Each structure stands twice: as structure tokens, then as C-alpha cells.
Amino acid sequence: MEHSPVFYAAVLFGSAMLGAGIYLLTHKQTSKGIKLLLSFSAAYLLALTMLHLIPEVFASDIPNAGWFIIAGFLLQVILDFFSHGVEHGHAHHHSHTGTRCRFTVMASLWIHAFIEGMPFGGVIEHVHHHGHEHGHAHAGHDHRDSLLLGISLHKITETLVFTALLMSTGMSKWKGLFWVVMFAAIAPLGAFAHHWLGTTGLVNIAKMTPMVIGVLIGILLHVSTTILFESEEGHSFNIYKFGSILLGIGMAALVL
């Protein structure tokens, strides 16, 4: 089902603020429930990427689609160096005590969030042609609602950790809340920017959207696999985490 960019923006903003609210109410950066949510969302995003997004991007008309995925993956490697793992649901507080460090963390998170929001301001091509000589067409699907679920769950844990990070620096609650609201608005801004570029005719949004999704795929591959393959304490097998992973994969397999 297609929705307006306003709908997607509202959900993205609300999920980010929900994450901040959870921390402000509980003052807990991590718990068993949050870890399970993190594992579920990572597994869901990874499976959604593999089962739906990658096939759609390679079925689109953009040439060399794989390079956009590689570019997104490498971009997240760079962003991760500056954010120190906030996107993965954890952060080392002692690494962010300086103003300059906080700025680099915020800047990397903003770039990450902006790209996450961009596909929700684009359009999905519903018919893709495979070879002019064969005249074969493949019907595409709009997976933005399915992607919205995964990104929203990711935003909850991401903003929760970001809020905890800000509070740990001694920043006042109101100043911290200001920066949290600013961060929550970045993904919606990405959606509106992408939509604006298309409606003003500055870009061919039908061509640009698969490119943007390709970059996002690379980012999601990095983030989701990092979350899933981070070792448990003592490298022990966690049946609850494994169950949440299976549940995430199963849900991604069922969505259309």
C-alpha cells in the first residue's frame, strides 16, 4: 500500500522519539528485552534485504546495481568509525566526552538516518523489463511498508542508545532532548528531500529510487550483520536471541 511521504515521516519520527522516551523513563540503555528487539529487527532487516530489496534492485533498470550496494556498505564502515556503534545498539561512553567527539557521532548518525529515510520519499517502479529482445517483464512490489517496520524498530534502539549517550556526557535533559528531536527529524527530512527532488524535476525519481535503495541495502547489510554476529558474553548460545532471529526472518519471509 502506498502512503504519502508525510505518513512515512510521521512514523519514522515517532519511532525515534519512542526510543528516547523509553530511555528517559527507564534510564536503561540495555536490557534483555531491548537486546531481543535488537536481534529481531536486525534479522528482519537482513532477511527483508536478501529476499525482497536485493532482487528488486537487480530487477530495476539501473546499471551496475551491485556497486551501489558496495558503496553503501563502505559508507557505513566509515560512518561506524565515527559513531562507535550507536547504530548497532551500543556505544562506549568514555569515547564521546569531548564536544568534537559528540559532533562526529551526531554527524555520522545524521548521514545514516538521512539515507534511511530517503526511499520513503521515492517511487517504486512496478514493471521492470528484462531484455528488449525477449520482451519479458517482471512485476515489482512496493516494499516500503515492510521496510518501514524494520527501520522503525531500528530507530527505537538507535535513538535509545543515542539518548543515553547524550545524557552520559552531563548534558542537561532539555539540551539533550533538543538534539534527540533534531536527530529524529533527519530520516523524515531524507524522505521529504527525495520527494522534493522528484516533484521539482531535478532528478528522475523513478531512476534515483533504486539507486538510493541500493546504497541503503549496503548500509543495512553492514548494520544487521554486525548486530547479529556480535558475540555473546562467553560466546555462549542464547536460545532467546536465536528465537528472535528466527522470528525476524520468518516475518520478513511472509511480507509482500
> How crowded is the C-beta side of 150, counted as CA atoms within 13 Å?
33
Going by pLDDT thresholds of 50, 70 and 90, the confidence category of residue 126 is very low
pTM of the model: 0.86
42-81 tens-digit pLDDT: 999 999 999 999 999 999 888 899 999 999 999 999 998 8
Query: Shortest CA distance to 146 belongs to which of 88, 204, 80, 220?
Result: 220
DSSP structure class, residue 232: P
**Has residue 198 got a pLDDT over 90?**
no
**Has residue 13 got a pLDDT over 50?**
yes
* Winning range, highest mean pLDDT, from 145-154, 197-206, 234-243: 145-154
pLDDT of amino acid 70:
97
> How crowded is the C-beta side of 62, counted as CA atoms within 13 Å?
25
* Winning range, highest mean pLDDT, from 136-150, 154-168, 180-194: 180-194
DSSP 56-90: HHHHSS-TTHHHHHHHHHHHHHHHHHHHTTGGGT-
The burial of 234, by beta-carbon neighbours within 10 Å (0-12 exposed, 13-18 middle, 19 or more buried), is given as exposed
The residues, ordered by sequence, that sit 6+ positions from 36 with a Cβ below 8 Å of its Cβ are 240, 241, 244
pLDDT of amino acid 41:
93
Please state the domain extents for the chain: 5-254
The x, y and z cell numbers of residue 250, run together, are: 520468518
